[in-house]
Structure 1
Amino acid sequence: MIIKILLLLFFTGCSNIGGDRLPPAKQFDTKAIEQELVLRKKDLDKARSTEVFDPNAVKPSGINTVFGLALGKVFNLPECYKSRYKPGYYEDFSKFVCFEKTLANRDASKMVLIQLPYEDFPLIVYWGSKLYATIIDDNLELIRLKTTSGKDIVLTKLKEKYGDPLKLESFDVKTKIGASFDAIRAEWRVFNIKVVYNSIDQNLDFGSLTIGTEKGFEDLDKSIQFDMQKGRQL
């Protein structure tokens, strides 16, 4: 009797295999998926607007480089050639990217000048100027440079690489004789890279562009405070 009951249960269970009582296959709701993608994009935009970023996230190719120099990586440029005619000076022109030593060293950081070859000088960089680079624990953390006075060209190039700025401010700058000029200040924050652009810096001939990591900007703030304190002592 027990054997008959077990056989009956066995064949009853087997009848469900391939039978009509199985639940239908799950269908994908394409509209729901599209809505989910829209919500995820909004979340990403919100994170960008509040400057919440994951420094360990995969960066787009080249986002942490400045003219081929990688931020947050070991600085390994060759030193520029010394002048044969001016002891203690470097050659005025270089055919390759190189660095010049300076005396601006403080604690674990030091600053060097980067010389770019004139044959392939970047369009947005003020002609003939050099880049200021901050090295911390042998890594390149920040680059400052003078830009050309053409703010529209510079802003367009920066947008092509970093997208729309997180902050964009417009203001008027007046000279001593009363002439007025339009100026802008733009700021980007892409992953752990920060970019600050001022279309007018010390004078109307050029602007300034600073690109660096969090560590680089922290060191820059310290150096500014140090200079201010030193100035007050004078």
Structure 2
Amino acid sequence: MNTNFIIHEPAGEYHARSRKGEFMSSHLLADFRESPALYNKEVKGEIEQKDTPAFVLGRAAHSLILEGRTAFDRDFVVTDGPVNPRTGEPYGAKTKAYADWLASQEREVVSGKDYDFILKLQRSVHLHAAASELLASGEAEGVVRAEYCGVPCQIRMDWFSPESGLVDLKTCDSLKWFEADCRRYGYIFQLAFYRAVIRVVTGVTVPIHIIAVEKNEPFATGVWQLTGDVLDTAERINEAALERYKKCLYTGIWPTGYEEIRLIDSL
């Protein structure tokens, strides 16, 4: 399988095209499954999209682990910011001096402490035999666009290779509970959506793996392969949601899902 179907573009450009409703993404589809009204408000720009320090840290970790130091340095700078001349210490992150300095930066800022944390994640992933093998060859942060179920869709893959298929990188508090995290955070639906879009373009049903690394000591890494059965089930639910989405587009009605009276009949 060649990979000429993969597009490489800045993350901001990719996300902007989803936010304005040009393409359905796995995140937006998850919001639609929860509430069509929520989806509609998002694409109309009625819900503020906040970029938190945790999001920056996550992007930085993905960049260093999957793309390497050169790509990381292109998009991020490691620094604790300007130093207060009176104390000899960096200004606090909530001070005006720090905020003014941060606004002038062309790259996203990662503190020294956060960079050390990311290095621990990177070492753990690269020292895990199965994870290292999955990431031995391939492309990071590739975009694929296709019409799926009659809806323009797009995905941004953490890692793809013709040999290993799709590999997604996640962080977690504990590997012990990661399988529950997969269900709680909708990872199975996300990756079923990715698999389906790839199939539309290539005609191939690729294998799906998740690499999960703990955010706490001992920073252990684990690898999971998602079975075809569980992905097929999630795919059917995604496709039913896309059919409801097309109906909402046609009617202009975006329900919350709570229009009817519900019963509470058990303790």
* Structure with greater proportional helix content: 2
* Structure with greater proportional strand content: 1
**TM-score exceeds 0.5:** no
Give the TM-score taking structure 2 as reference length: 0.22
Higher Cα radius of gyration: 1
User: Which of structures 1 and 2 has the larger relative contact order (alpha carbons within 8 angstroms, sep 6+)?
Assistant: 2
